[in-house]
Amino acid sequence: DSGVTQTPKHLITATGQRVTLRCSPRSGDLSVYWYQQSLDQGLQFLIQYYNGEERAKGNILERFSAQQFPDLHSELNLSSLELGDSALYFCASSVGDTPSNYGYTFGSGTRLTVV
Amino acid sequence: GESVGLHLPTLSVQEGDNSIINCAYSNSASDYFIWYKQESGKGPQFIIDIRSNMDKRQGQRVTVLLNKTVKHLSLQIAATQPGDSAVYFCAESGRYSTLTFGKGTMLLVSP
């Protein structure tokens, strides 16, 4: 167990729907990162939050949004889902706002299937 | 769990052999590099890291080599075991940037 908790582990939903993925970072970590992993795109960085504030943005679609709450857990909201959004979504955490010393700790991911 | 490596380059070795996995990175400003291991159905797991002021770092059965001149990183695994079978990713970051991951290499170890 890495200490990063993601729920749910699996999610199946229809096109056009909206889902929320949840992440609890490792105890003591202030940064949360979201990554999307698909077969042909590898691990793509979506967004980072540090202590409740957005810190960096990657290839995140406008249909996607995220937030980090005062207790440091984070949620990734995916709306108007398309078949191409089917992927593994990983949350990772780190103590600081940069990947120094052991990089990020990853959760076990949420597998999203859009049908 | 479903494989994430269907379209990845694959390295097949025999148990006990040494494995070398290579990675070319793109950003000459990157100063921190990490190798991750991802087993089927799990998230990436930290293996070893190296900073740009070093060219070699050793861990337990693993060694990372960094060649900044040609922007190349390699992971050497000694006495490869079936439990080493996984997808291996290199990742890079600059001083104030997030980690960018490479495409990954699948390592298959035969007993």
Do A34 and A66 touch, CB atoms closer than 8 A? yes
Distances (CA, A) of B82 to A73, B21, B48, B86: 36, 16, 19, 9
Res B7: pLDDT: 66
- In the numeric block, the tokens 């940069």 are attached to A98
What is the structure's pLDDT at B90? 95
What's the pLDDT at B94?
84
Cβ of residue A96 closer than 8 Å to a chain B Cβ: no
Mean residue pLDDT across chain B? 91
CB contact under 8 A, A108 and B42: yes
For B:45-104, CB contacts with A below 8 A are 45-46, 49, 89, 91, 93, 95-104
Instruction: Find the mean pLDDT for residues A67-79.
Output: 98
Q: Are A98 and B96 in contact (CB under 8 A)?
A: yes
Please give the average per-residue pLDDT across B13-33, as a whole number: 94
Residue A3 has pLDDT above 60, yes or no: yes
pLDDT at A59 over 90: no
Beta pairing, strands A10-13 & A110-114: parallel
pLDDT digits (tens, 9 = 90+) for A7-49: 999 999 999 999 999 999 999 999 999 999 987 778 999 999 9
Task: Classify B78 as helix, strand or coil.
Answer: coil
From the centroid of its chain, how far is CA A110? 9
Contacts A39 to B, Cβ<8 Å: 4, 6-7
Question: Does the structure show a pLDDT above 60 at B6?
Answer: no
Task: Count the residues in chain B.
Answer: 111
The string of DSSP codes covering B42-61 is S--EEEEEEETT-SEEE-SS
pLDDT at B2: 39
